[in-house]
Amino acid sequence: MRLTLPGTPDALRVLAEAITAFAARRGLTHDTSAAVHLALEEVVTNILVHGFCGRPGAAIDVTVAVAPGEVVACVEDSAPPFDPRQAPAPDFDSPLEQRRPGGLGWFLVKRLMDGIDYERVGDRNRLTLRKALPAAASAPQAP
């Protein structure tokens, strides 16, 4: 599946509809589809909020494919270089009243996905997310 999302909050609506349709077409389990959807939504939200600083930006290209044993999603944007592997971890240590917000989105992406790769290609960021398919999807379950 290949998507061109607008560089505006509308991207989230377009993404949600496309992922739901893709998951149904390819027979993904609910959990796999939910994980890929949430991870992609976090990535796109970060591009809109931090990459484009909340202003309308250039289109964001998303591809999602089912490969043997995994779902591979790729996101390309033209925001300034950003390697999510260097994103700060959320503040889990401070008491609630003093906790700094932020970092939660990438934290979720890292917990939800089985692999994250980043490269800068020309003037674009390319992020690749991998989610392993559940073993039960390819083997019949024991009675």
Partner 1 sequence: MEMEKIPCTGGAIVALAGRLDGLTSDTVKSRLLDVIQGTALRLVIDFAGVTYISSAGLRVLLEVAKRVAAVKGKLVLCAMGRDVRQVFDLAGFAALMPLCASREEALALPR
Residue ranges that bind partner 1, judged by CB under 8 A: 9, 12-13, 16, 34, 38, 41-42, 45, 48-49, 90, 92, 96-97, 99, 101, 104-105, 107-108, 111-112
User: How far apart, in whole angstroms, are the C-alpha atoms of residue 87 and residue 104?
Assistant: 10
Closest CB to partner 1 among 7 and 120?
A: 7
Q: How many CB atoms lie within 10 A of CB 14?
A: 17
The nearest distance, CB 126 to partner 1, in angstroms, is: 22
90 C-beta neighbours (distance < 10 Å), count: 16
45 vs 78, which CB is nearer to partner 1? 45
Q: How far is the CB of 80 from partner 1 (least distance, A)?
A: 20
Q: What is the distance between the alpha carbons of residues 55 and 53, in angstroms, rounded to a whole number?
A: 6
Q: Which is nearer to partner 1, 16 or 24 (CB)?
A: 16
Rounded to whole angstroms, the Cα distance separating 48 from 10 reads 10
Give least dist CB 101 to partner 1, A.
5
Cβ distance to partner 1 smaller for residue 85 or 99: 99
CB of 102 to partner 1, least distance (A): 8
Residue partners of 115: CB distance under 8 A and separation at least 6 = 128, 129, 130
Q: Are 71 and 28 within 8 A, CB to CB? A: yes
Judged by beta carbon, residue 18 or residue 48, the one nearer partner 1 is 48
Question: CB 122 → partner 1: shortest distance, Å?
Answer: 28
Here the tokens at position 57 are 């930006």
Give the integer Cα–Cα distance in Å for 20 and 3.
Answer: 13
